[in-house]
Structure formats: C-alpha cells, structure tokens
Structure 1
Amino acid sequence: MATMAANIGMMDGAYFVGRSEILAWVNATLQLNISRVEEAASGAIQCQMMDMTHPGIVPMHKVNFDAKTEYDMIQNYKVLQEVFTKLKIEKHIEVNKLVKGRPLDNLEFLQWLKRYCDSVNGGIMNENYNPVERRCKGGKERNPRGAQRVAKSLQADNVANLALGPKQGRMCSMSGRDDSASEIQALSEQVSDLKHSVDQLEKERDFYFAKLRDIEILSQTPEIEHLPVAAAIRKILYAADVKESALSEAQELVTSMHSSPEEEVNDTEQIVQ
C-alpha cells in the first residue's frame, strides 16, 4: 500500500483528471452532492474515502462531517494522518493549505486520493459499503449525549402539544419566528461563503501580481535591461490598452536580436524613452 502511494508523483496521470470527474467520483462513491472541490476542505470526505477503501480502518466516530472551523477540520486531518500511518502511506498532508479552502490544493489532494483508491480497488466501488449509514453511525457515536437530549426534548414537545390545545395560535407564531431565524441563518451562511470566495480571489490576485513584479524587477537588472528580450517583456507589462495585446510588438522587438549591435542600442533607447 505504501509503495502504491509513493509511486503517485506530480507527473502521474492522476493530476490530469478534471475537476468535474473528481466531483462526480466523490458524489457517486459517497452519495453526496458537492459542487465544488473546496467543499472537501474539512477532511471528512477524505476520511470516508479511506473508510470505503479500507473498511474498518477509520474510526468514523471521530470524523466531524459538520466541521466549519479550522480547529474542527484539523481534527479530521489528524484522524486521516493516523490512518495513513497505520497503512504506512508516506503522504504529506498540507493541512494548513487545505483548511483554507484553496481550490487547487483541494483538487490536487482529491486527485491523489482517487489515484490511490483506484490502485487499491481497481476503480470498482465497494457494493457492500453504505456511505450514508457510515456517516450516520459516526454522528451518533460522536455525540451520544446530545442525541439523548434531543430525543427527550422531542418527547416533551409531544406531551406539550397534546396538552396545549387552545394555545395553537401562539405555537404558530413561534413557528413563524423559527422560520425567520432559519432564513437569517441561511443568509448569514451565504454571506460567509461570499466573503470566503472574495478572500480566495484576493489571495490569487496578490499571488500573480507578486510574480509579475518579480519579472519586472528582473527585466530591469543592469545586466539584461538593454537586451531586446527584456524590452519586449516590459512592453507587455506596461501595455495600457486592455483591448489589444502587445504580444505582436513584443515579438518584433525580440526579432531585433538579429540586427546589428548599433541597431539594437538604438531600438532599446527608443523603447525606454
């Protein structure tokens, strides 16, 4: 098992599996309905995939399928790492990146996971595995006292409903308030998701801007700043017209490398000016 996992390198075909195929695989295997790879950031899906591939190896009662905070997510990844250790799988889990919900990191981990699971079961789903039942059992074992409190509360509500009779109007009013509270909670969750998406976009923007800034600084290095290729790079970086690409002009500058030295100097001076 460890050998199979170790052979899954970055150039393996696993990492060329598309996002849609990965989502379809997760949903079909675990009977879920996720639409984004970021929804696997909690680590619960990965734990259950290992539970399906190696029945009984994962302590499902420790897996939190409702994990929302990074702390709860990290606990799931600790369970997953313990499973890897038991199976002697030498796979480093980038927990700090995964819990941030970064699409690329979560996609790559799911791609690796699919490749690993397929290498164990030949890509055939375990027909005897009931993913919904396993999740429910995990939830019951994870919080048995809470389940008992809920059951007692429901019993008390049933008794109260039989005795209230004329107070149904008040109960309807309370039900209306509950519906409003549910709507507010749903809207709050949507706002939270939007904020999270904005944060991810800002991080990606800063990441690519930093790369462009590094290229700009490199092109201004005294050793190469007068070369046509450096001038061509700056031409693209400083292009102000968003509708037209500066690539053709940059390519013309690069072809000037075949000109005489005197022509190169003159061309470069014109560009800098």
Structure 2
Amino acid sequence: MPPPRPAESRNDAELIRANRGFYELLWAAAKLIGPERFNTWPLLRELAAAAPRRLEVAPGLRPRLPLDGTCFVDLSHAALSQLHASGAKAVHGMIGALPCADASFELICALDILEHVADDDSALAELARVATPGASVLLSVPLHPEAWTAFDDFVGHCRRYEPAQIIAKLARHGFTIEHSAVYGMQPKSSRLLDLGQWFLTHRRERAMWWYNRVFMPLGLHFQKPLQWREGLGDTQGVDEVLLRCRYRPNPRPTPPPSH
C-alpha cells in the first residue's frame, strides 16, 4: 500500500468538519492550560509585554499569549466557553475570515493552523490585513511532505511545507522570517502514534482521558527549552518549526499611466 499523502484537494468545508470532529471533542474533555506552562513562554513573554494589541488565532485550550489583553479567535465553542470563563476576550471565527478590523494588532500568534486550512494564501492574507506594519507574527508549521503520516491526516492536516516553499509563500504576503525554533510535541515513535490513533478512533473517551490526565502533563513536564536561531536555520530532520516573522506590507505595483 502506498504511503498516505497530504490532502491538498480537500476543501474548507471538509477540513472544518475534520478539525471540528477531532478538536471539539478534545477541548470538551480538557482543561485550559495557561501560556506560562509551555516552553514557548520564555520566547513570547517579552514580545507580549511590548505589544498591548495582541491576537491569537485558534488557540483551543492551549493559548500561548497572555489571557489578559489578548483577543482570541477560535472555531471551537468548547474552547471559547473556557476562555470566557477565565476572563479572556474570545470570539468565534476562523483564520480565513477574521472578525477583526484592518491593522489592529502589533503581535499575532497562529500556531498549528496554516496546515489545517485548504487556502493558506487566504489565511496569510487575513493575517496581513489585521497586522500593523512592523508587527511580529508567530507561526508554526510542519515540514517536509515526505514525512507525511496517517496521523497528519487524522488530526486534519492539509499539507506539510517544503522549507523553501514556506519562505516564498510568507514573503508574497509581506512576512519575513527573522527567527525560528525547532518546535512540536509529537512523539517520534511511529508505533506510539499508530496506537494513539487507534484508541482515538475506537476508544475515543478513554483516549481523551489518558491524553488530558497523563500524556499532556507528561509532555509539559518533559518539554525541551526552545531557542531562537537566525532565519529558518537548518531544517534537516526537523518535524515542525516555530517562526517569528516581521510584517511589512508589500508595495503595491504602480498602475500604468492612462492615455
């Protein structure tokens, strides 16, 4: 049997159904974990403190920016309910149609989201629309299409990115990668991933119990410190990267003179 390949052909409606099916159930059984518990916090704390106008897209119950003062946009009603209960400003929406005004935010965080949408160019265009010139934009993406597994498909991924592809795509929308960090909490064992997928498919409640009460706390405990490096850096053998980008609007082409 040939290996599974990225599902580039799936449309937004299909991807939304797949993501809702996985994440709505995940967040319904989960508790909110504050941003200070994640290894992203030492890298993002000062950025957040210097940017009073902040947006985080699709955080679920794992926000990486401070709850106080950040606008959160998510599709999951289960996640929105807990974010509201924790005092956060959270609104229903998706990355392709953000319910936000133009040039509203100095710091934008959209982790683990571009690979989930059918039209990632429209998603990046929306991030550019709501960013102020000079804004910091934090993204994370999985790399290397040849590393695609059935688990990517199961969790609603649409693609993995070639390193040169993500650099060029970001540049077309005015984003320059200034720093990156090797990122991600996915287990390296394919057998463990296969076992997890089987339980999520056939024993969903039990799998969610183990994930939220055992594997997630263990994952938090054993997180490795993240370190910024210049540009994209060496991506050989890297499953996922955290990108710190600078947004500068691309100059509009000068219209031809009228005669």
Is TM (by shorter chain) over 0.5? no
Which structure has the highest strand share of the two?
2
TM value normalised by structure 1? 0.24
TM value normalised by structure 2? 0.25
Which structure has the highest helix share of the two?
1
